[in-house]
Amino acid sequence: MALAPDSVKKLVQAGYEVQVEPGAGLAAGFGDAAFAAAGAKPSDARADLTLRAGVPTEEEVSGLPEGSMLLGSLFPTRHPGIVRALARRGITAFSTDAIPRTTRAQTMDTLSSMANIAGYKGVLLAAGAMPRYCPMLMTAAGTILPAKFFIIGAGVAGLQAIATAKRLGASVFATDVRPEVKEQIQSVGAKYVGIELREDVAAGGGYAKDLSEEDKARQRELLAEQCAVSDVVVTTALIGGVLAPRLITATIVARMKPGAVLVDLAADGGGNCELSQPGKTVVEHGVTIIAPLNLAATLPTDASTLWGRNLTNFILAFTKDRAFVLNREDEIIRGCLVTHEGQVVHARAREAVEALSAT
């Protein structure tokens, strides 16, 4: 759900008329009465600014009022067809996944909010699928050693995965191609394992760029060794927050323990594991591979609350005299504005649309 009642109340207080589609919040635990109490009105589909929790279909884009605004996470380089449809409709579209990762924009960062949920829920999925305990247990029949978790990637999802696995009592190891996150990994309770890179891979904004071929080979060797001794592997790696590099090959999976579990939290970006099937759970070489899509939606109440606060903070940051002001000189607007006045203004999205048009 794009807004929870607490965010509706803030927008109404700021001078906006908020319309909510009847029944839209039921699956997230928010009834129509709660929205009405916060000041929302039933939707008549004539909004100047539409808020969404997911990427719209082309049919849904055609239903937006021409020249209106759209705010949500569009992942424009993944969905060039939708971007093209938005431009043709004259929609001014903002994509929150393209908001610069600056201190000022932290409260608007939907990627971080949803990644936090994914890291937490991903570990719970692994714990439910594995054939053994997570913590060390001392019983009358003897001692059960703690399960070994290996977390790949120490962004928001990875750090939350580490913290959650530690709370479950597991022995946790983690890696990231950015050596500067070693202290962060250790601060949440994991043991850092990594290679010394030949090239710097920091891409800014908390993201990593792709590795050189030499570093990729050395990293594969490390991953193979660590995966082979782990009961659970959780992958969270994304390049630029969008593209999932293929880190876990079929050969690496074949070396893993029978009964081991791999949770691919990068499935939305194509998956970090060669054998992942996004949206499905499969068993290969005796290893259960879970590749969930839109994992944050499995905790809809908290996900909707956080998402709504992110979008509300964006709107309020550019509200003046009880109206939204499109300031294209602002770095946040420049970073996330995808389409405007019939044009694709986001550089990478424009490249994706041009590539689509050329096919």
Distance between CA 103 and CA 156 in Å, rounded?
A: 15
Please determine, for residue 329, whether its predicted confidence score (pLDDT) is greater than 60. yes
Instruction: Transcribe 331-358 into DSSP letters.
Output: HHHHHHEEEETTEE-SHHHHHHHHHHHH
Two structure tokens written together for 239: 């390049």
Catalytic status, residue 133: no
> Catalytic: which of 52, 101, 218, 348?
101
pLDDT at 125 over 70: yes
CB atoms within 10 A of CB 242: 19
The 3-state secondary structure of 120-141 reads HHHHHHHHHHCCCCCCCEEECC
pLDDT at 207 over 60: no
**Is it true that domain 114-298 has CATH number 3.90.1150.10?**
no
Amino acid at 47: A
Does the pLDDT value for residue 239 go beyond 60? yes
pLDDT of residue 200: 56
Band of pLDDT at residue 216, cut at 50, 70 and 90: confident
Indicate if 106 belongs to the active site. Answer: yes
Catalytic, 186? Answer no
- What's the sign of the alpha-carbon dihedral 301, 160, 268, 124? negative
Domain boundaries, the chain: 5-108+300-354, 114-298
Kindly state the average pLDDT of the residues 179-195: 91
Strand partners, 243: 239
- Active-site pick, 68, 133, 207, 302: 207
What Cα–Cα distance (Å) separates residue 42 from each residue in 18, 26, 28, 71? 9, 14, 17, 19
Q: If one looks up domain 5-108+300-354 in CATH, what number appears? A: 3.40.50.720
Q: Locate 34 and state its tokens.
A: 């709660």
3-state secondary structure of 312: helix
Active site residue 187: no
Instruction: Convert the pLDDT of each residue in 73-118 to its tens digit.
Output: 999 999 999 999 999 999 999 999 999 989 999 999 999 999 999 9
Three-state DSSP at 214 gives helix
| Token output for 210 | 């792709």
- Confidence category of residue 199, pLDDT binned at 50, 70, 90: low
Rounded mean pLDDT of 280-284?
98
Q: Distances from the Cα of 39 to the Cαs of 13, 19, 320, 332, in angstroms?
A: 9, 9, 20, 29
Calpha distance 104→317 (Å, rounded)? 10
pLDDT at 204: 52
The answer on pLDDT for 209 being more than 70 is no
Q: Is the pTM of this model over 0.85?
A: yes
What the block records as the tokens of 97 is 């996944």
- Reply yes or no on whether the pLDDT at 351 is more than 90: yes
Given a cut of 70, is residue 217 above it in pLDDT?
yes
How many whole angstroms separate alpha carbon 14 and alpha carbon 356? 40
| Angle in degrees, 0-180, between the axes of helices 156-167 and 110-129, rounded to the nearest 10 | 40
Query: In 3D, which of 297, 87, 31 has the Cα closest to residue 79?
Result: 87
Which is more confidently placed, 147 or 178? 147
Backbone φ and ψ for 261, nearest 5 degrees, come out as: -125, 135
Point out the catalytic residue in the list 7, 73, 95, 112. Answer: 112
Radius of gyration for the chain, computed over Cα atoms and rounded to the nearest angstrom: 22
Same fold, 5-108+300-354 and 114-298: yes
- 45 pLDDT more than 80: no
In the predicted model, what is the mean pLDDT of residues 250-265?
Answer: 97
Which segments of 232-274 are extended strands (E)? 232-235, 261-264
Q: d(Cα 132, Cα 336) in Å, to the nearest integer?
A: 44
User: What distance in Å separates the CA atoms of residue 115 and residue 294, rounded to the nearest whole number?
Assistant: 10
User: Looking at residue 211, what is its pLDDT?
Assistant: 66
Judge whether 340 and 92 are in contact, CB under 8 Å: yes
Q: Is 72 helix (H, G, I), strand (E, B) or coil?
A: strand
Catalytic-labelled residue, pool 13, 62, 106, 212: 106
Can you tell me the mean pLDDT for 159-188?
94
Q: Which of 73, 97, 109, 171 is catalytic?
A: 109
The rounded mean pLDDT for the chain is 93
27-31, 235-239, 240-244: which range is least confident on average? 240-244
Return all residues near 301 (Cβ < 8 A) that are at least 6 apart: 28, 29, 30
- When pLDDT is cut at 50, 70 and 90, the band that residue 178 belongs to is confident
Is residue 101 annotated as a catalytic residue, yes or no? yes
